[in-house]
């Protein structure tokens, strides 16, 4: 019976994905699949390429390849991703965490490096929990709340917190109806939906066909909705001198800054690796 070796699996990947991706990307995909999908050290591919896959492994390689050919994101195929030092489960309920969001987490951690007292922090629109869990893990003085609209999503958030050994409090709450939510908070961090529907045609099918639209898109008519809702929530719930960190759509920077002026904050901007203003830090006056 024909058995697939590690090297043959790689050739299979190259043949299947060659039309869509560059060879370095295909290698990265295959090695990530070995590591995260089959718990094999990718170095094995260089030193023991003749090692045979088990029939379950071979099935997994072939099935994963079909999903990748159908443009399913690798992270959903594997059911997991990495964010800073965390491994997080991801599936179609939640957005796949992005590198820009790691940058925002770094910013918060730099600012709160020297904490010596508990601070209450809320991650609004938590999804996989990447922001809140990473912050709770790296800075134990943060007491973290993680808010999202569906219990289904929060089940995954809670699972990820457990997986990474941190305690956070999940809050099921639609941001459109926060008038009854009363919390005294020191820090708000949010990466809310911020892509306008009109930007859809510039997006790739791996995002459009698989990632949850409610996590990504916002109407063209009111693209700052979530920022406004969070600022209104903060008016009552964020302590004086408290901070808000927002991940933002660089295309909406001017409008967003105009909106913030009607509230009372000192605003700082930060660029992402592509030199676009992608994050704002607001300090309540
Ligand atoms: C851009 S995703 C961010 C997910 C995660 N924090 C991250 O950075 O990868 C936005 C999140 O906001 C949540 N969301 C969308 N509409 C919401 C609403 N009305 N109320 C509460 N959360 C909402 C989505 O479910 C999604 O998890």
CA–CA distances in Å: residue 257 to residues 162, 238, 263, 283: 37, 19, 10, 13
Backbone angles phi, psi at 90, to 5 degrees: -135, 145
For 18-62, the pLDDT digits (tens) are 988 999 999 999 999 999 999 999 999 999 999 999 999 999 999
Ligand 1 pocket, mutate which of 89, 95, 131 (most atoms under 8 A from CB) = 95
Q: Where are the domains of the chain?
A: 6-70, 83-284
238 in Cβ contact with 215 (< 8 Å): no
Measured distance CA(126)–CA(131) in Å, rounded = 7
81 in Cβ contact with 101 (< 8 Å): no
171 in Cβ contact with 146 (< 8 Å): yes
pLDDT of 242 higher than 90: yes
Q: Which residue has the tokens 């990495």?
A: 82
H or E element at residue 219: none
H or E element at residue 173: none
3 — pLDDT class (breaks 50, 70, 90):
confident
Nearest atom within ligand 1 for CA of residue 150: 25
H or E element at residue 10: helix 6-17
pLDDT of 1 higher than 70: no
> What is the reported pLDDT for 42?
96
Q: Whose CA is nearest to atom 12 of ligand 1?
A: 125
Ligand 1 centroid to residue 270 C-alpha, Å: 21
pLDDT of 94 higher than 80: yes
Q: Whose CA is nearest to atom 14 of ligand 1?
A: 125
* Angle at the Cα of 71 from the Cα atoms of 70 and 73, rounded to 5 degrees: 130
Ligand 1 centroid to residue 234 C-alpha, Å: 17
35 in Cβ contact with 87 (< 8 Å): no
List all residues whose CB is within 6 A of at least one atom of ligand 1.
94-95, 97, 101, 125-128, 130-131, 148-149, 153, 174-176, 191-193, 214-215
Q: Which residue has the tokens 């892509």?
A: 195
Nearest atom within ligand 1 for CA of residue 96: 9
For 159-178, the pLDDT digits (tens) are 999 999 999 999 999 999 99
Ligand 1 centroid to residue 115 C-alpha, Å: 28
Q: pTM for the full model? A: 0.96
The percentage of residues in the chain with a pLDDT greater than 70, rounded to a whole number, is 99
The percentage of residues in the chain with a pLDDT greater than 90, rounded to a whole number, is 97
pLDDT of 152 higher than 70: yes
9 in Cβ contact with 53 (< 8 Å): yes
Beta strands 119-124 and 86-89: pairing type?
unpaired
CA–CA distances in Å: residue 21 to residues 37, 66, 168: 20, 14, 39
* Angle at the Cα of 276 from the Cα atoms of 266 and 111, rounded to 5 degrees: 45
Superfamily of domain 83-284: Vaccinia Virus protein VP39 (3.40.50.150)
Nearest atom within ligand 1 for CA of residue 94: 27
Quick one: average pLDDT of 249-270? 97
Nearest atom within ligand 1 for CA of residue 126: 6
For 202-237, the pLDDT digits (tens) are 999 999 999 999 999 999 999 999 999 999 999 999
């Amino acid at each position: 019976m024909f058995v697939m070796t590690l090297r043959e699996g790689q050739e299979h990947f190259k043949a299947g994905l060659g039309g869509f991706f560059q060879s370095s990307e295909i290698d990265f995909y295959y090695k990530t699949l070995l590591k995260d999908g089959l718990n094999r050290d990718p170095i094995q591919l260089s030193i023991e390429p003749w090692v045979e896959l088990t029939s379950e492994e071979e099935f997994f390689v072939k099935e994963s390849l079909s999903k990748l050919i159908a443009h399913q994101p690798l992270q959903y195929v594997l059911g997991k991703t990495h964010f800073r030092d965390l491994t997080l489960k991801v599936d179609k309920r939640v957005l796949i965490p992005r590198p820009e969001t790691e940058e925002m987490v770094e910013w918060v951690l730099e600012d709160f490096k020297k904490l010596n007292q508990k601070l209450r922090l809320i991650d609004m629109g938590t999804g996989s929990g990447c922001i809140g869990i990473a912050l709770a893990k790296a800075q134990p003085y943060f007491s973290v709340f993680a808010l999202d609209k569906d219990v289904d999503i929060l089940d995954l958030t809670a699972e990820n917190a457990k997986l990474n050994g941190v305690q956070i409090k999940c809050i099921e709450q639609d941001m459109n109806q926060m008038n009854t939510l009363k919390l005294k908070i020191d820090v708000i961090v949010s990466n809310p939906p911020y892509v306008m529907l009109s930007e859809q045609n510039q997006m790739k099918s791996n995002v459009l066909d698989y990632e949850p639209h409610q996590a990504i898109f916002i109407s063209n008519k009111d693209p700052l909705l979530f920022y406004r809702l969070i600022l209104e929530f903060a008016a009552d719930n964020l302590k004086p001198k408290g901070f808000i960190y927002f991940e933002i759509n660089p295309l909406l920077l001017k409008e967003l800054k105009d909106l913030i002026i009607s509230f009372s904050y000192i605003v700082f901007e930060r660029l992402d690796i592509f030199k676009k203003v992608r994050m704002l830090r607001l300090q309540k006056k």
